[in-house]
Each structure stands twice: as structure tokens, then as C-alpha cells.
């Protein structure tokens, strides 16, 4: 996914989040300092969403690598160490 597509997805999400907050009356009733602390500045939300997208991509890749390593190990083509490495990367990507 290109960076411009990711940026559009992030901005679209920010606009939708802001609209929902305004509809619920949450945005205008909160003190400015609390809003900033909650990370509602656009650049903070963009950074957070980009991090979430990156984590999702990392997890997807790690799961694919683990499945591939497991298949190759079962077929006798790959070593146990390679399987263990893929398992560790997958579990690390799953960690909160």
C-alpha cells in the first residue's frame, strides 16, 4: 500500500472519529488539556493509526512466515531452529 493511500485512509478515519465525537457531545465538552492528553491532535492520531497499521502488517507477515516455516519443517526441508525463529517472531508480533 502506497504512503498516499495510507494517508488517505488515516485522514478518513480521523474525520470519522471527530464526527462521532462531535455527535456524542464528547469533543466540545472536554477541556482542551484533556483533549490533547488523550491524543486527539491530528498528527498524534495519524502517528497512532500508522503504528496500528504497521503492527497489523507485521503480524500478518509473521503469521505467514510461521506457516511457511512449519510446512517446510514438516516436509523435512527446514530446520527446527528456523521454525523456532518464525514462532518467536509470530509470538512477538502478537504481544500487546
- Over the stretch 50-60, which tens digit does the pLDDT of each residue have? 877 888 889 99
How many of the other CB atoms lie within 10 Å of CB of 52?
A: 12
Across 35-62, average pLDDT: 76
Q: Which one has a higher pLDDT value, 43 or 54?
A: 54
Q: Does residue 76 surpass a pLDDT of 50?
A: yes
Prediction pTM value: 0.55
- Reply yes or no on whether the pLDDT at 29 is more than 50: no
Return the number of other C-beta atoms located less than 10 Å from residue 94's C-beta: 12
Amino acid at each position: 500500500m502506497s504512503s498516499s493511500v495510507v494517508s488517505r485512509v488515516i485522514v478518513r478515519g480521523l474525520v470519522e472519529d471527530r464526527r462521532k465525537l462531535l455527535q456524542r457531545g464528547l469533543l466540545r465538552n472536554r477541556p482542551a488539556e484533556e483533549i490533547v492528553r488523550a491524543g486527539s491532535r491530528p498528527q498524534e492520531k495519524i502517528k497512532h493509526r500508522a503504528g496500528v497499521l504497521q503492527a497489523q502488517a507485521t503480524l500478518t507477515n509473521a503469521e505467514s512466515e510461521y506457516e511457511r516455516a512449519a510446512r517446510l519443517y514438516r516436509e523435512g526441508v527446514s530446520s527446527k531452529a528456523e521454525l523456532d525463529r518464525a514462532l518467536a517472531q509470530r509470538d512477538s508480533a502478537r504481544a500487546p
